[in-house]
Structure 1
Amino acid sequence: MQILIASELAPYRIGSGQYIYLMAIASQEAITQKALSEKLLIDKTTTAKAITKLEAEGYVRREIDPADNRYQLLYLTQSGREVVPKVQEALRRVKNKTRKGINDEEYELLLDLLRTVLRNLSDQGEARE
């Protein structure tokens, strides 16, 4: 899937590992980088690299948080707002390819199971098995 996504997003200079940040910021602008990392269950270093790339491409901007100047809030730029529907369409095309032969109920079960696996892998409080 990552190869398909990378291919679909290449015209927009968005890597397959960066679109999730773009989409998360689109759904919740004025989010801190730390909150974004926590929301996506991705480490801070990886998040910082992805945001830097999206910022360099002109899709994301940072502003000092007026409530606490130690933090920066993330927003989409105009270019970011314009590219979001294109990214959504590209992701829809990839999703449709992955769903062939799978009904809605099965697909939702698959997603639920994958979310559980992700939570299990990212749970810092659990002892290692």
Structure 2
Amino acid sequence: MSDSPNQSGTNRAWRRVRVTGSWLPDDAFVWAYWNGSMWNGFAVPLFTRQDAISLCAVMPGLVYVEARHAFLFDENGEAEWFHAGPQLVDGQQLQLYSLGESWCWELVDAPGRATVVAAGCPISPLHNRG
């Protein structure tokens, strides 16, 4: 995969990984891209639109708002928007979403985790969201 600069100015290769979080059902994971970036000891993955949509099925506060081409996470009245940004991966420019940059994402490397979070995000066509 191609490189993306990190905070120190050096490049790190993007790779396809599986991630999970304590808020997801047991043994559930979602695919993401990761370049080795960490926050407080946790991975900072980026998601394709389809990968992020798969999270909506198990995260009731997360919806894709088509009119804004963004994900909205609303929990306890606190709304947070996630927009895509371009990243060069394997020579191809992808639009990737940084969902929960400061969330506690964990890399999944154990083959025992076999449950992929299924797609099923409600896509909101509403123009008046947020």
Q: Compute the TM-score of the two structures, normalised by the length of structure 1.
A: 0.26
The structure whose residues are more often helix, as a share, is: 1
Give the TM-score, by structure 2 length. Answer: 0.26
- If asked which structure has higher relative contact order (CA below 8 Å, sep 6+), I would say 2
